[in-house]
Homo-oligomer: A and B are copies of this chain.
């Protein structure tokens, strides 16, 4: 079955899913031949996908030893939140500066189903949360920013440990970020976005 598309891409997607879902457990070794056979491909395109996943912080490579599913310790998780704070803060600032009503509508749309409800479905909210934070970055139109913001992949892994804070609490904060963007207040937008991440970050310390 030699059919020249980009095999690496579907492999990458599949493996990412397997890692995030826990099908491949943290610390587990990726034995290339086994995974290749499992996915029905050769080691060559698999290797490409593995390298991409390493760059996403989902795999860890020890030269001459192999690739392992990354186990995020508390320090690393904390450090990722530090990066998120800086990057999402900047993203919020940029969006507030451009103050685009279409963009604001998109941001609002993430949480529209939760506004009127009294009881928030935790699973649906987690998805919305992820979409919102990812959208915040995407809407800036800053390609390098989007490239380095690989934390989305890790997000689900974090969530699997249990939501850090109740939706009722974070929903307010999300809206305050959007509101500052809508008011065209870059300083406040950045401040709100940063404080939002910071609150979760601090919780990670006492875990």
- Seen from chain A, the residues whose Cβ lies within 8 Å of a Cβ on chain B are 4, 6, 44, 47-48, 51-52, 55, 57, 63-64, 76, 79-80, 82-83, 85-87, 89-90, 94, 142-145, 147-148, 150
Partner among B55, B57, B90, B143 whose Cβ is within 8 Å of the Cβ of A86:
B90
A53 to chain B, nearest CB (A): 11
Name the residue of chain B whose CB is nearest to the CB of A77: B144
Contact partner of A51 (CB less than 8 A), chosen from B44, B48, B82, B150, is: B48
| B79–A144 CB distance below 8 A | yes
- A142-B90 contact, Cβ under 8 Å, with A6-B63, A52-B51, A63-B6: no
- Most B CB within 10 A of own CB, among A44, A52, A83, A89: A83
Tell me the smallest distance from the CB of A18 to a CB of chain B, in Å: 20
Verify B87–A142 contact, CB threshold 8 A. no
Say whether A147 contacts B86, CB under 8 Å.
Answer: no
Q: How far is the CA of A138 from the CA of B114 in the complex (A)?
A: 41
Q: Are A147 and B82 in contact, with the CB atoms below 8 A?
A: no
Distance of A150 Cα from B44 Cα, bound (Å): 26
A80, B142: Cα distance in complex, Å: 8
Chain B residue numbers with a CB within 8 Å of A148 are 83, 148, 150
Output the least CB separation between A108 and chain B (Å): 24
Whether B79 and A83, one on each chain, are in contact in the complex, defined by CB atoms closer than 8 angstroms, is: no
Q: What would 11 A/B residue contacts be, using CB atoms closer than 8 Å?
A: A6-B64, A44-B44, A47-B48, A48-B51, A76-B144, A79-B144, A82-B142, A83-B144, A86-B90, A87-B87, A148-B150
Q: CA A48 – CA B148 in complex, angstroms?
A: 19
Closest to A141 in B: B79
